[in-house]
Structure 1
Amino acid sequence: MFTLYKTYCPYVSPFDPCKPIGEKVFSTPPNLYMGFQPPNLPQFSPEEALRAGTLWKAFYDPYFNPYEQGKGARSE
């Protein structure tokens, strides 16, 4: 099982003048988890593919800002 969002905790200096972000989040594209493109992958219709930015549903990755509340990616 893979996740499209990864987290890590950066070093926080005691001399940092700004309030630190305790946990940073970054997204990874779905193609990292597919070694090769298998045949007969499900496809979007041409109109949907233009909106999604890819023809294949397995490669679709909507972006949500993980630091904004209420967008559906994750809640803190």
Structure 2
Amino acid sequence: MFTPRKFWHPYVSPFDPCKPILVKSYSTPPSLYIQVQPPNLPQFDPHTALCKGTLWPLYYDPYHGPVEGKHPEVER
């Protein structure tokens, strides 16, 4: 199983004038972890596929930006 969201803890300088960001994250696409597309994958219906941007649920990677709020996997 792959982890689509990666986390790291950047260096925090004691002289930084701004409030530090203690945990940063980035997203990796599911296609990085799938070598060859397996046959007979389940598919979204056409309307859902257009909304999600892919026909196959295996390749779907939701975007968690500032509008959607914090990502649920962020550890504090």
Is the shorter-chain TM-score for this pair beyond 0.5, marking a shared fold? yes
* Letter paired with 2:40: N
TM-score (norm: length of structure 1): 0.80
Alpha-carbon distance in structure 2 between the residues aligned to 1:44 and 1:2: 21
In the TM superposition, residue 26 of structure 1 has moved relative to its aligned partner by: 1.3
**Superposed displacement of residue 74, structure 1:** 2.9
Q: How many residues align?
A: 74
Compute the TM-score of the two structures, normalised by the length of structure 2: 0.80
SS in 1 for 2:6: strand
Over 6 Å off, 4+ runs? none
Q: Is the 8 A contact 1:7 1:23 kept in 2?
A: yes
Which of structures 1 and 2 has the larger relative contact order (alpha carbons within 8 angstroms, sep 6+)?
2
Which residues of structure 1 form unaligned runs of 5+?
none
Deviation of 1:22 after TM superposition, in Å, equals 0.8
